[in-house]
Amino acid sequence: MMFRTFVLAACVFAASAAPSQAEMTAREFLTQHSNSQNGRAFLAGLSVAYGWIGASGNTKIFCPPESISITIDQNIELIKRYLATAPDPDKDDPLGLILLVGLRSAFPCKK
């Protein structure tokens, strides 16, 4: 449990740091990579990683119904929806952070 909390905190901290060249931004992904095989594979990897973090113990970071499998196109729609309603439309956060926020917003866990 402690390790999972540390990994989640490290991911959130890394994603919230100033954008660097290490990860593309959400807007960059949508305009340049959302239709490419490599871009879609990158997004799939993020989605799977977030799923495994949530499946590794009792603390989940988002809670989709067990009957669905979230597709790449659905992840892209979550990103678009977040950017359309973002409090600061000029801010361009890293793709991983926006996906995580979108998944948590779309599939909140009951407390």
The answer to whether residue 94 sits within a structural domain is yes
Residues 111, 104: Cα–Cα separation, whole Å: 13
User: Region 7-27: what's the mean pLDDT?
Assistant: 61
The answer to whether residue 87 sits within a structural domain is yes
Predicted local confidence at residue 61, as pLDDT = 86
The answer to whether residue 52 sits within a structural domain is yes
CB 63 within 8 A of CB 55: no
Residues 15, 98: Cα–Cα separation, whole Å: 9
Residue numbers of the domain that contains 77: 45-110
Chain segment 71-101, per-residue pLDDT in tens: 999 999 999 998 888 877 667 789 999 999 9
The answer to whether residue 9 sits within a structural domain is no
Predicted local confidence at residue 6, as pLDDT = 46
The answer to whether residue 76 sits within a structural domain is yes
| Structure confidence at residue 68 as a pLDDT band (50, 70, 90) | confident
Predicted local confidence at residue 52, as pLDDT = 84
The answer to whether residue 15 sits within a structural domain is no
Count of CA atoms in the C-beta half-sphere (13 A) of 14:
12
CB 59 within 8 A of CB 7: no
Chain segment 15-24, per-residue pLDDT in tens: 555 544 568 8
The answer to whether residue 68 sits within a structural domain is yes
Would you say the pTM of this structure is higher than 0.85?
A: no
Predicted local confidence at residue 36, as pLDDT = 92
Chain segment 32-49, per-residue pLDDT in tens: 998 999 999 999 999 989
The answer to whether residue 3 sits within a structural domain is no
**Helical ranges in the chain per DSSP H:** 2-16, 26-28, 37-55, 72-85, 95-106
Domain count, the chain: 1
- Coil, strand, or helix at residue 51? helix
